[in-house]
Amino acid sequence: MSRASELTEQVLGLVGSRAEAEVVASTGNLALTRFANSFIHQNVAEIGEAVSLRVAVDGRVASAKTTVTGAETLAAFVDGALETAALQPIDEDWPGLAPQAAVPDVVHADEATYDASPQARASIVKDFVDSGSGMLAAGFCQTEGRSIAFANSAGQVAEGRQTNAIVDGIHQTATSAGTGHAASAAVGDLDGAAVGRVAAQRASDSVAPFDAKPGEYEVILAPEAVGTIAIFLAFYGFNGKMLEEGQSFVDLGTKQFDERFRFWDDVTDPRALGVPFDTEGTPKRRLELVENGITRAVAHNRKTAKKAGVEPNGNNVPGAEGWGPIPTNLFIGGSDTEVGDLIANVERGIYVSTFNYCRILDPKTMVVTGLTRNGTFMIENGRITDAVTNMRFTQSFVDALGDGKILGLGNDARFADSEFGPGITIVPTMHLGSWNFTGGAEG
């Protein structure tokens, strides 16, 4: 039995028959190698344990979390959660505990990553730095390994292991910068040199940018920009709580997108990260969010599923009481088209490497404002010509993906960084017919 499973059993034993209870325990490590000015300046690592507990006493619900797992501390931790629950009002929407159910036999863990050394991360950093001759590099390389266990007093148990490895950085000249990013469950999959070459090329091509006029442009969006679109759609739209509260744009069964748009959540995909159950112990499964432009489903936890009269689909996350269930293994379907061919089909447009500082203006219409960053270029007559200074956009993401608006999808789907962090989206480059740029970076 793993240490994480031991913790779940210990805490359930401490609760006993005093309440309905569910416990999530995790053990493992997180290590980070940071670099700036082309030198590694920090290497940090932490090994730790964490326990989350939710109890329900006659419909009165309370949650608690601790990273101190000694026997006396856990006893006080459990007593405190029960005391808090007794002071809560009855939650009329309490859905009860997850029943016993089989969890998919999926493991996204790599032993070399779980025990990755500082030297392994430093080697990736060196390859990234060396790829940008004469430039200054900055960024990080991260490795993480965790064992996660779940148990509740209804008899549901689940256990899994997960790892992830990330390299993310920029190359800088005196007047420009370019970004590169890669992620995987296995540190051996990271090619620091390849990621660095992308960043260096974007930086060198951006040395002398000009100010493009605001307006509607065709765009080629690199995976990082597409990843941000995917995250905003998932967080504000394909979210059972947002839909129940009338804040989501989602209209189930309706063709809301271009027929080329396919959007799904699937922890069982070999490329995914994470464990195949959520923080309520509900097994995850492939969830078709959009099929050929038709909106099919949203993420549900037990509470939102009960309200909607459907089955939960394993998308509860920490903090879901506030912001709702969120899918965390997102995919957008691509094609067999090379990115160069996508660019060749643009007579005049903008190539966007990544977005920055995006903020939702209206979740009901998915209007978002934000900036381009670290690699924005003019496309003319099917080829990238000049660099463009950062531009502000104000755009409905749903409208941008609407019927007839997706003109092409790339064959380069990969993990992409996004506004809410890496390791959630696997998406391709996208060619869109219209994007509304409203000004420069300052307005």
Please, which residues have CB within 8 angstroms of residue 335's CB and are 6 or more apart in sequence?
Answer: 260, 408, 409, 410, 411, 428
Q: Which of 202, 227, 253 is the last residue of a domain?
A: 202
Q: How far is 404 from 407, CA to CA, in rounded Å?
A: 7
Instruction: Note whether 178 and 241 are same-domain residues.
Output: no
Instruction: Note whether 27 and 141 are same-domain residues.
Output: yes
* Alpha helix segments (H runs only) across 87-191: 111-114, 118-130
Instruction: Note whether 188 and 216 are same-domain residues.
Output: no
Q: How far is 209 from 189, CA to CA, in rounded Å?
A: 34
What is the Cα Rg of the chain in Å?
A: 23
Q: How far is 65 from 77, CA to CA, in rounded Å?
A: 8
Q: Which of 181, 202, 223 is the last residue of a domain?
A: 202
Instruction: Note whether 177 and 215 are same-domain residues.
Output: no
Please, which residues have CB within 8 angstroms of residue 412's CB and are 6 or more apart in sequence?
Answer: 223, 334, 339, 428, 429
Instruction: Note whether 141 and 102 are same-domain residues.
Output: yes
User: Which residues span the domain enclosing 279?
Assistant: 208-443
CATH number at residue 124: 3.30.2290.10
Is 439 strand, coil or helix? strand
Residue 188 near residue 119, CB atoms below 8 Å = no
Per-residue pLDDT of the chain (443 residues; tens, 9 = 90+): 899 999 999 999 999 999 999 999 999 999 999 999 999 999 999 999 999 999 999 999 999 999 999 999 999 999 999 999 999 999 999 999 999 999 999 999 999 999 999 999 999 999 999 999 999 999 999 999 999 999 999 999 999 999 999 999 999 999 999 999 999 999 999 999 999 999 999 999 999 899 999 999 999 999 999 999 999 999 999 999 999 999 999 999 999 999 999 999 999 999 999 999 999 999 999 999 999 999 999 999 999 999 999 999 999 999 888 899 999 999 999 999 999 999 999 999 999 999 999 999 999 999 999 999 999 999 999 999 999 999 999 999 999 999 999 999 999 999 998 766 655 899 999 999 999 999 876 65
Q: How many domains does the chain have?
A: 2
Residue 228 near residue 418, CB atoms below 8 Å = yes
Instruction: Note whether 65 and 51 are same-domain residues.
Output: yes
Q: Which of 183, 202, 221 is the last residue of a domain?
A: 202
Q: How far is 261 from 400, CA to CA, in rounded Å?
A: 11
Chain centroid, CA 17 distance in Å? 38
Instruction: Note whether 235 and 270 are same-domain residues.
Output: yes
Instruction: Note whether 266 and 370 are same-domain residues.
Output: yes
Instruction: Note whether 267 and 156 are same-domain residues.
Output: no
If residue 145 lies in a helix (H) or strand (E), which one and from where to where? strand 136-152
Whole-prediction pTM: 0.94
Cα distances (angstroms) measured from residue 260 to each of 228, 294, 333, 350, 351: 19, 10, 8, 21, 20
Instruction: Note whether 184 and 287 are same-domain residues.
Output: no
Instruction: Note whether 108 and 253 are same-domain residues.
Output: no
Q: How far is 122 from 40, CA to CA, in rounded Å?
A: 8
- Greatest Cα pair distance, the chain, in angstroms, is 72
- The per-residue DSSP string of 194-209 comes to HHHHHHHHHHHHTSS-
In degrees and rounded to multiples of 5, residue 189 shows phi and psi of: -80, -15
Instruction: Note whether 169 and 241 are same-domain residues.
Output: no
